[in-house]
């Protein structure tokens, strides 16, 4: 379902909308890659297009409405590139409708100058125009004396800002739609994606080998060769340990996939998991990659 856009005369420029997404756009791209791997999100796509079979309807999770709601917002991701999706939907989901707030001069008062109607007009313009365009964020109206030591003046301004007690939102929460985690780390997310894709391509491959390929635990894989035809007893404990670590990481990755399908990312807390048909997931991944290459 296409997202309704504002009329042209009210629609802010792209630059106005995108400033709040700086720092999270890459994580949104990762989120979409997780969603593409979700069996539940694929069911939402089917439900909105060709329909579900009787068996598929029986397999739906209790919170499938939440997945459908996410699908309505994010749309069909199966063949669209991220850049195309961002222009069509992403910017309207994560971008802000307002200009980036900035420090501005409302009026300049000369020495000995008394109150003037122009001051009221300038203040009125700020409240009715500039402040509205910036989303009416918390602000200070200050009297900044000129002709004094700049360091002293700035220290006074800093003190007033601190006294106001307004916290600066973390990167993950600056956009119109916040990400789930306050602290964002891309490395584990890339490893999860790599592990899931390799599991889909090689569903019967031993877990320790998958762990080595996906670089799940560099500290525990030294000396292990994922392509080794013969393995020795010297690496038995190491392979068992890598298998355990990979199993845990795979579970975490699948949880992250299903949370993403519900619009909650990045998150790996316990959640009911569907059956991961890796052959189907791999076919969807290949279809997505083919569409991406065709668009270049």
pLDDT band per the 50, 70, 90 thresholds, residue 73: very high
Q: What is the pLDDT at residue 3?
A: 28
pLDDT band per the 50, 70, 90 thresholds, residue 11: very low
82 CB-near residues (< 8 Å, 6+ apart): 29, 32, 90
Q: What is the pLDDT at residue 9?
A: 36
pTM over the 0.85 mark: no
Average pLDDT over residues 264-290: 94
pLDDT digits (tens, 9 = 90+) for 162-214: 998 888 766 656 667 888 877 889 999 999 999 999 999 999 999 999 999 99
How high does pLDDT run on average in the chain? 88
pLDDT band per the 50, 70, 90 thresholds, residue 12: very low
Q: What is the pLDDT at residue 5?
A: 34
Instruction: Please give the share of the chain, as a percent, with pLDDT higher than 70.
Output: 92
Q: What is the pLDDT at residue 118?
A: 83
Q: What is the pLDDT at residue 15?
A: 53
Residue 154 has pLDDT above 90, yes or no: yes
Q: What is the pLDDT at residue 221?
A: 86
Average pLDDT over residues 51-78: 96
Average pLDDT over residues 65-72: 97
Average pLDDT over residues 233-262: 94
Q: What is the pLDDT at residue 249?
A: 97
Instruction: Please give the share of the chain, as a percent, with pLDDT higher than 90.
Output: 58
pLDDT digits (tens, 9 = 90+) for 106-131: 888 888 888 888 888 988 988 999 88
């Amino acid at each position: 379902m296409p997202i309704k856009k504002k009329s042209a005369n009210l629609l802010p420029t792209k630059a106005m909308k995108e400033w709040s997404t700086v720092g999270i756009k890459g994580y949104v791209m990762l989120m979409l890659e997780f969603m593409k791997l979700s069996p539940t999100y694929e069911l939402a796509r089917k439900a909105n297009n060709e329909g579900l079979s009787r068996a598929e309807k029986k397999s739906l999770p209790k919170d499938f409405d939440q997945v459908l709601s996410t699908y309505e917002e994010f749309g069909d991701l199966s063949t669209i590139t991220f850049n195309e999706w961002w222009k069509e939907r992403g910017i309207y989901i994560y971008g802000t409708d307002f200009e980036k707030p900035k420090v501005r001069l409302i009026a300049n008062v000369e020495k000995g100058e008394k109150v003037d109607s122009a001051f009221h007009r300038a203040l009125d313009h700020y409240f009715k125009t500039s402040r509205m365009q910036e989303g009416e964020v918390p602000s200070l109206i200050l009297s900044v004396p000129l002709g004094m030591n700049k360091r002293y003046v700035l220290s006074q301004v800093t003190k007033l800002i601190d006294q106001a007690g307004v916290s600066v939102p973390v990167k993950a929460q600056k956009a119109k739609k916040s990400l789930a985690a306050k602290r964002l780390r891309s490395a584990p997310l890339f490893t999860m994606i790599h592990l899931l894709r390799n599991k889909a391509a090689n569903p019967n491959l031993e877990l320790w080998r998958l762990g080595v390929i996906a670089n799940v635990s560099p500290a525990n894989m030294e000396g292990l060769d994922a392509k080794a035809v013969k393995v020795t007893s010297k690496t038995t404990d190491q392979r068992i340990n890598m298998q355990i670590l990979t199993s845990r990481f795979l579970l975490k990755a699948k949880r992250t996939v299903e949370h993403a399908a519900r619009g909650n990312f990045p998150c790996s807390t316990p959640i009911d998991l569907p059956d991961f048909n890796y052959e189907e997931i791999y076919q969807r991944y290949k279809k997505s990659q083919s569409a991406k290459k065709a668009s270049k």
